[in-house]
Amino acid sequence: MDYIKIRFGGDLDQMDTEFKRNIEGMFRTMGPRFACTECTWTPPMDIYETADEIRVLAEVAGINKEDLDIEINSKAVKITGKRLDPPKEERGTYRLAEIQRGKFERILFLPAPINTEKVSASYLEGMLQIRLVKLPKDKTHKISVSGG
């Protein structure tokens, strides 16, 4: 799979780093959940297409497979789940909290129609893989015209 990296100028990287540093400094003393009453997050996902199938790969480490739901129609996949908070340690203070927790929902529109009867999903080492068999492309049929 080919990826394209787009860069719009050298100064943006430095500005982005300074901006992130300023934001982190503002919220450092507020704790890890400073503005989040019902947190949502978006796990990273890949969609890979072959001639016969579409594969969706989702990075959902730390989620029990019982907390994952997958809904599929011929044009889209909806993946929802929840990563629970770890037990709280009363004696310590967070200094860094980057692991996102709470509910997520992701709807992926597929590049081709799929057969909803031929779908499989597996979960191994924090990676959810969904395999979707593509529907055959519509074939054109020639029809003869009868005269009367």
Tell me the domain boundaries of the chain: 38-85+100-136
pTM of the model: 0.66
Which residue would you say has higher pLDDT here, 93 or 81?
A: 81
Which residues, in sequence order, are CB contacts of 135 under 8 Å at separation 6+?
A: 74, 112, 113, 114, 115
Return the closest-CA partner of residue 32 out of 101, 103, 105.
101
**Given pLDDT bands bounded at 50, 70 and 90, which one contains residue 80?**
very high
Q: What is the pLDDT of residues 16-65, one digit of tens each?
A: 666 666 665 555 445 444 444 455 889 999 999 999 999 999 999 999 99
| Percentage of the residues of the chain whose pLDDT score is greater than 70 | 72
Cβ 106 vs Cβ 78: under 8 Å: yes
**Can you name the CATH fold of 38-85+100-136?**
Immunoglobulin-like (2.60.40)
